Structure 1
Amino acid sequence: MNKVLVLFLAIATMSTAGNAAAADKINVLLPQRNANEAIAPFLAAKYLGYLDQEGLDVSYLLVAGSNEVAIQVASGNAPIGWASPAQAVIGMQEGAAAPLDLQYFSSVEYRNIWSISVPVDSPIHAVAELKGKRIGVTALGSAAMNYGKAYLRGAGLDPDRDVTFVPIGAGGQAMAAMKQKVVDALVFWETANVTFDIAGSPVRQLPIDKKLALLPDVSLLAKRETIKQQPKLLIGFGRALAKGLDFCLANRPACVLLTWKLYPESKPAEGTPEQKLARGLKMISTLDGWSDEELGDKRGEFIESRWNDLSDFLLQGGQISKPVPASRMFTREFVDEINKYDRAKIVKQAKEFDLKSLQ
């Protein structure tokens, strides 16, 4: 962990120690190094005053991935984190080497953000056709390995014998490996794939089993102690984020501009204003996975069967030794309260919002 993060977390610990609900100043951890339009609902919740309405003064801290988020929340360095559940659930199992006393309290992403893909002009159209091929991942110890192996097994391949996984890093390094045909396919997360597209190296996702495609992903978690002792804090944040999502879905250009206003470095450096906005809208399209037709407009709800599928996925991959019950992974106790707000009012606000105020 770098010295800046250690210092920040030391300060965060002091500011959130004791009764965070009374102090109302909290830090929320997000699992990415750099801000982009994919986190716009979090930013909208703060910029538009939804967090203020809940009596919360929130600072967002960007950290290196979901594993880091889970560890820091479990250590008490922040009360809330937004993290992919795979690593957290591994830490929840009985007898875990490094047990994490965490639980998810509001679902956010309703589909698996990890895909197996090929360059758009590749002759490969099915996972089974990857036999004998090289598959790029950021690192051999990354979550991509778990997902990639599952996709290969689902297609009848042996991931330890039929393919070669190659660590290619991320960003420009990964794009160069793809262009130079160092690898034939990639296992990357959703926003990375969008970034490839924006940079002129689009990829095409290969079809995978529906159960794997619908595994739950990045959602809000907290220590079980926090869930028990500070429900108002968690409900308030969950509700503010739900409002931020409703606003962004109703006015995506506003949330692109809002992201650029708060994080100027996230704005594309080249192109016309129209081209820049088009790129931002591609990135914010990842919000399509933040809702599910099975739930309609309800925010934060958990689809239990999919979380059980997640447990099975980890079991089959050897990451856990026995299933983790859904009741251990998440709690629904706050979902109804999170949804107690006037959604039509938020949508109206979004549609009437003056984009010029963000320029």
Structure 2
Amino acid sequence: MVSRRSFLKGSAGAALLMSAAPARLMAAEARKIRFGVGLKALNATVINCVIGEALGYNAQEGFSLDVQALGTNANVQVATDRGSVAIGVGVPSTALPLLAKGEWGGAKMFYQYTYPYKWDIAVPPGSALKSYTDLKGKKIGVSDFGATEYPVTKNVLKALGLDPDKDVSWVAVGNGTPAGVALQRGVIDALAYFDTGFGQIEAAGIELSYLPRPTTIPMVGGQFLMAMPATFEKDRDLLIGFGRSVCKASQFLLANPAAGAKAFLKLYPETAPRGASEDEAVKAVLQSISRRIKLYAPPYANTKMGAINEQEFRTEAAMNGLDLKDYAALYTNELIDKINNFDAVKVKAEAAAYKG
């Protein structure tokens, strides 16, 4: 059976999650760095950002990871701006409005660890709804109104000629399994959600059918690693090292997802379903990340893993009516070449040979 560990709870509803990496990876000289994620509790959504701890990639770069689940992306932004975390997860839906209002705190995104597009709309099997345009007059569930699936899905419906404020109604149904149960019980007609969230629902045994994506899906919704300018100046090698660890972990997962799931469960056994065997726990992780893994590699030709495409910011800003001309304050690709300076073939061979 997979054991469970209790969480260490921090202030303001944040949970401080200490990794259970092997002692050899926790050498005294390894520097502990704080990494902020916008989750209420850690899950496999950020698997490629954290399993470098179990695989030895963090140790090779001279640091050990201290993951803080801060609840929301906005909380991560504040923690990064204040220096409470050295590196945080950045998302354009938080960053762009701040930049438009002249309130951007100066953090720079330096590595894109998940590329667009990760949202879908699911309906119960056998539903009469067959397309996005069939949603007119229906109730659409979202996890909450502060989550990214809400504004993104509204914009997609708008592009299809629907008025997202009048033609459909929106219901906040919570995260994970509760959202699936709401769909299953008919509380909502359809559920707008993201890839790993749907994976959690399916792992709970709830069947879903997905409406075909429109051909006009916007390339928005990437997720990024970000840090303050002072960290670039004083700790540039740390940012390169963390980016390289994430890049290696992404290649590892693409080569052998099951091995990556085992590494994740070694670090965070409390994320396994209660009472699950090891095989069942690995299967649950794989179900949750099966769609997300496909988004690790850039969807653009001749682009190195982690490189940031400014057009994604421009598209999202336009979708939300933000008047922005200059995006240079948001991001940099200056570290990408060094981050990708490793033997990817060796990493893939390690993944193939991994036994846990």
Q: CA deviation at 1:268?
A: 2.8
**CA distance in 1: counterparts of 2:296 and 2:289, whole angstroms:** 11
**CA distance in 2: counterparts of 1:272 and 1:49, whole angstroms:** 25
Is it true that 1:82 corresponds to 2:83 in the alignment? no
Q: 1:181 aligns with which of 186, 196, 205?
A: 186
Aligned length: 337
- The answer for the alignment partner of 2:324 in structure 1 is 323
Query: Within 5 Å, which residues of 2 pair with 1:255-334?
Result: 255-269=260-274, 274-285=279-290, 286-295=292-301, 298-315=304-321, 320=322, 322-323=323-324, 325-334=326-335
Secondary structure in structure 2 of the residue aligned to 1:123: coil
**CA distance in 2: counterparts of 1:201 and 1:8, whole angstroms:** 29
Q: Is the Cα contact below 8 Å between 1:89 and 1:324 reproduced in 2?
A: no
Gaps of 5+ in 1: 13-21
Q: CA deviation at 1:325?
A: 2.7
**Change in CA separation of 1:23 and 1:246 when aligned onto 2, cut-off 3 Å:** closer
Q: CA deviation at 1:27?
A: 0.3
Q: Is the Cα contact below 8 Å between 2:272 and 2:284 reproduced in 1?
A: no
- The answer for the alignment partner of 1:152 in structure 2 is 157
- The answer for the alignment partner of 1:192 in structure 2 is 197
Q: Is the Cα contact below 8 Å between 2:124 and 2:183 reproduced in 1?
A: yes
Q: 2:115 aligns with which of 110, 118, 126?
A: 110
Is it true that 1:249 corresponds to 2:254 in the alignment? yes
- The answer for the alignment partner of 2:37 in structure 1 is 30
Q: CA deviation at 1:139?
A: 2.5
Task: String of CA shifts for 1:69-116, please: whole Å, max 9, x gaps.
Answer: 1121112111101233211222122434xx332221111111133333
**Change in CA separation of 1:324 and 1:260 when aligned onto 2, cut-off 3 Å:** farther
Query: Within 5 Å, which residues of 2 pair with 1:193-272?
Result: 193-210=198-215, 212-269=217-274
**CA distance in 2: counterparts of 1:199 and 1:117, whole angstroms:** 15
Q: Is the Cα contact below 8 Å between 1:125 and 1:206 reproduced in 2?
A: yes
Q: Note the aligned Cα RMSD (angstroms).
A: 2.7
Secondary structure in structure 1 of the residue aligned to 2:133: helix
Q: Is the Cα contact below 8 Å between 1:136 and 1:166 reproduced in 2?
A: yes
Query: Within 5 Å, which residues of 2 pair with 1:29-178?
Result: 29-96=36-103, 99-178=104-183
Secondary structure in structure 2 of the residue aligned to 1:226: helix
- The answer for the alignment partner of 1:15 in structure 2 is none
- The answer for the alignment partner of 2:348 in structure 1 is 347
**CA distance in 2: counterparts of 1:343 and 1:90, whole angstroms:** 37
Secondary structure in structure 1 of the residue aligned to 2:283: helix
Task: String of CA shifts for 1:281-336, please: whole Å, max 9, x gaps.
Answer: 22231211111342568221112323321222232xxxx3x125332321111111
Task: String of CA shifts for 1:181-212, please: whole Å, max 9, x gaps.
Answer: 11111122221111111122233333445564
**Change in CA separation of 1:109 and 1:141 when aligned onto 2, cut-off 3 Å:** closer
**CA distance in 2: counterparts of 1:175 and 1:81, whole angstroms:** 29
**Change in CA separation of 1:275 and 1:142 when aligned onto 2, cut-off 3 Å:** closer
Secondary structure in structure 1 of the residue aligned to 2:205: coil
Identical positions, percent: 27
TM-score, normalising length: structure 2:
0.85
**CA distance in 2: counterparts of 1:84 and 1:271, whole angstroms:** 33
Bigger CA drift: 156-165 or 106-115?
106-115
**CA distance in 2: counterparts of 1:284 and 1:141, whole angstroms:** 22
**CA distance in 1: counterparts of 2:14 and 2:207, whole angstroms:** 37
Q: Is the Cα contact below 8 Å between 1:104 and 1:219 reproduced in 2?
A: yes
Q: Is the Cα contact below 8 Å between 2:13 and 2:70 reproduced in 1?
A: no
**Change in CA separation of 1:227 and 1:194 when aligned onto 2, cut-off 3 Å:** same
- The answer for the alignment partner of 1:19 in structure 2 is none
Bigger CA drift: 260-269 or 334-343?
260-269
Secondary structure in structure 2 of the residue aligned to 1:326: coil
Secondary structure in structure 2 of the residue aligned to 1:27: strand
Q: Give the aligned residue type for 2:156.
A: Y
Q: Is the Cα contact below 8 Å between 1:135 and 1:184 reproduced in 2?
A: yes
**CA distance in 1: counterparts of 2:51 and 2:127, whole angstroms:** 39
Gaps of 5+ in 2: 1-7, 19-28
**Change in CA separation of 1:261 and 1:57 when aligned onto 2, cut-off 3 Å:** closer
Q: Give the aligned residue type for 1:59.
A: D
Q: Is the Cα contact below 8 Å between 1:270 and 1:276 reproduced in 2?
A: no
Q: CA deviation at 1:216?
A: 3.9
Q: CA deviation at 1:179?
A: 1.7
Q: Give the aligned residue type for 2:176.
A: G
**Change in CA separation of 1:8 and 1:119 when aligned onto 2, cut-off 3 Å:** closer
**CA distance in 2: counterparts of 1:31 and 1:295, whole angstroms:** 30
Q: Which has the higher helix share?
A: 1
